[in-house]
Structure 1
Amino acid sequence: MRELPVLSIVIPCYNEEKVLPVTAPEFLGELEHLAGRGKISKDSYILFVNDGSKDATWDIIKNLSLENPHFRGISQSRNRGHQNAVLAGLMDARKRADITISIDCDGQDDIHAMEAMVDAYHGGADVVYGVRSKRTTDTFFKRFTAESFYRLMNWMGAEVVFNHADYRLLSSRVLDALAQFKEVNIFLRGMVPLIGFNSTSVYYERHERLAGESHYPLKKMIALAFDGITSLSIRPIRMITGVGALISVLGLIAILWAIIMRVSGNTVDGWASLVCIVAFLGGIQLLCLGIIGEYVGKTYLETKGRPRYIISERTPGENVREKGNIDDRSNLL
């Protein structure tokens, strides 16, 4: 009989003092439910990752760990962003758990979908994506921008699962493969599909945030999309090449036309048209330089090889692995 897997529920937290007391008992209840039904080991646990919160989030996590041994926590030395926080939790759980489920702590993702994810794992899946079945609770603007985000990502060459964020189950061998990805610019939604292995999806309805405020306004969504595209695809560079070739052809035609008009003596003063052309080409050139500069900047950051996160503290009772041990690379990634 197959040994029951140890599950680690990885939950990134940034300034979540209002919502944590509400959702932590729900996560614990689902963990106990799965263990009680014999689907996961009773040694399974919940791992909170404090992403440099400025409020009482870390104090709440420490208190939770003292109240119940199924609660654990690690704290980053500073705020490094949602994706780095998720990665920190996944890599910390890699040598302690057989499977991980990453989920946000705001209660919007349906925690009861975890059971279907674990069932899919027992059925042979190494990756199980949590996918929103519909967006009826979203405003038109939110729905339009979110769906446009996924379409833009795929069109630009960054392979992502439509309507999937960071709610997913990963097996230990997928985590081992993910640990081999060394890039500093992290976009897990696009990196996980690159790993491969047998995957499936579980569909669920998303709820309203239980407390607190969203940390992903439109500005951050646009920044996330731009980071994902430039981290996973070179299609924008190729598009620049195509635009440059097209403008060159049009420019050559315009030069020939100007020569013909000059020879025929039909030229007139063209100040307005000249200004328009210069302004248009100047704008295109600056845009192209900006996109190229983004890639150059990312290359610069990658060559530095800086840590993607640094764990500064663990909840009481957490055993820190021996310094220098290969299993403790989570502090250095």
Structure 2
Amino acid sequence: MERKSVTPITLALVIPCFNEEDVLPETIKRLTLILDELVKYKNIHSDSKIIFVDDGSRDKTWGIIEEANIFNKYVQGLKLARNAGHQNALLAGLNYAKDFSDCVISIDADLQDDLAVIPKFIEEFNNGNDIVYGVRRGRSTDTFFKRTTAQGFYKLMNSMGVNIIYNHADYRLMSKRVLEHLGEFKEVNLFLRGLIPLIGYKSTEVYYDRNERFAGESKYPLKKMLAFAFDGITSFSVTPIRLISAIGFLMFLFSFFMAIYILINKFLGHTSSGWSSLMISIWFIGGIQLVALGFIGEYIGKIYREVKARPKYFIEKSTLNLPDQRNKEIKELVGTTN
């Protein structure tokens, strides 16, 4: 069912940032051109915004956002008091944007996601889709290792019963009512790629080619990627615990047959002391026990964090409530001093 509206929709772009001073000026420039074009053809309302969320950056990221807020009518900013993580920073922007927008598009600041498909997102929203997933056509720009591990992660998640979109990260459009339902999830361990499909509503996919990073360095090294993947698995599936139970049962069966084998050899007089086999057995069983305890500990740790229900982030500064009159005064002052 298509959405018919007399007035253009109000769009918000939410962009989490962490130490993005090298790429941010170009990101602002390109996104501004996109919004200007959409406003010109009345696809979106002129009150649409670009919301940058500074996730505790240590460089000039926040200064760039503040300056852009003065001269660019679209740019708004939130500065978190500390690095809360990509998912929490994204959630902070989404929570603000839902109060004034008809739909929100989340996107990373590195310009790897293709901005040219944003009009297609809006078109699909107007066609009645509450969620539009940006999906990569391929991974030709990735290294062999990253491509292999990423594809393996999606397949592993799906095999464990977690409903996530293959080759989709956090480039997506969500309607206002989807964002309102997202706010009903109170869990601390956020994995938005898994949460969004749980909400339901009509959805579709828009395919695009991912670009090379425009500038700066990736904020997701191998260590963070592994931690993110492990968070996703343990937040949405108890399959690892069940696998441990299955391994334990198989080990019990194996030990039962080994006991029969040893007793038969004892009665036949073929027994001999075997240091090697004893050591291998001890190390093997001990390793399984430690892995099992690690998995169980991970789930207990998540329960511990959820029970505490600590705030996901704190906002230190914001340009969101800076009155238009104050913006005007700042612009006049800057113009005078120049």
- Sequence identity of aligned pairs in percent? 51
Q: How many residues align?
A: 319
| Alpha-carbon contact 2:78-2:320 (below 8 Å) kept | no
What secondary structure is seen at the aligned counterpart in 2 of 1:293?
helix
| TM-score for the superposition, normalised by structure 1 | 0.93
- Match of 2:148? 144
* Dislocated runs of 4+, deviation >4 Å: none
| TM-score for the superposition, normalised by structure 2 | 0.92
CA–CA separation in structure 1 for the residues paired with 2:169 and 2:208: 12
Q: What letter matches 1:171 in structure 2?
A: S
- State the Cα deviation string for residues 272-330 of structure 1 (Å, max 9, x = none): 111111110000000010011000000000000001111121016447xxxxxxxxxxx
> Does residue 52 in structure 1 map to residue 49 in structure 2?
no
- State the Cα deviation string for residues 227-246 of structure 1 (Å, max 9, x = none): 00001111111111111111
Q: What letter matches 1:189 in structure 2?
A: R
1:31-70 matched pairs, under 5 angstroms? 31-70=35-74
Pairing partner for 1:288 from 273, 292, 303: 292
- Match of 2:336? none
- State the Cα deviation string for residues 180-199 of structure 1 (Å, max 9, x = none): 01100001111111111101
- Match of 1:195? 199
CA–CA separation in structure 1 for the residues paired with 2:207 and 2:83: 31
1:184-333 matched pairs, under 5 angstroms? 184-315=188-319, 317-318=321-322
- Match of 1:72? 76
Pairing partner for 2:186 from 170, 176, 182: 182
Pairing partner for 1:11 from 4, 8, 15: 15
Q: What letter matches 1:184 in structure 2?
A: V
Pairing partner for 1:114 from 118, 127, 139: 118
- State the Cα deviation string for residues 59-99 of structure 1 (Å, max 9, x = none): 11000001112100011110011111111111111111110
CA–CA separation in structure 1 for the residues paired with 2:234 and 2:149: 19
Q: What letter matches 2:83 in structure 1?
A: N
Give me the CA root mean square deviation: 1.2
What secondary structure is seen at the aligned counterpart in 1 of 2:9?
coil
| Alpha-carbon contact 2:14-2:93 (below 8 Å) kept | yes
Give the superposition deviation at 1:254. 1.0
Q: What letter matches 1:34 in structure 2?
A: L
What secondary structure is seen at the aligned counterpart in 2 of 1:61?
helix
Give the superposition deviation at 1:216. 1.1
CA–CA separation in structure 2 for the residues paired with 1:250 and 1:91: 53
CA–CA separation in structure 1 for the residues paired with 2:320 and 2:238: 45
- Match of 1:105? 109
- State the Cα deviation string for residues 206-265 of structure 1 (Å, max 9, x = none): 111111111112221111110000011111111111111111111111112222222332
What secondary structure is seen at the aligned counterpart in 2 of 1:112?
helix
Q: Mind listing any 5+ residue stretches in structure 2 that lack a counterpart?
A: 324-338
| Alpha-carbon contact 2:21-2:64 (below 8 Å) kept | yes
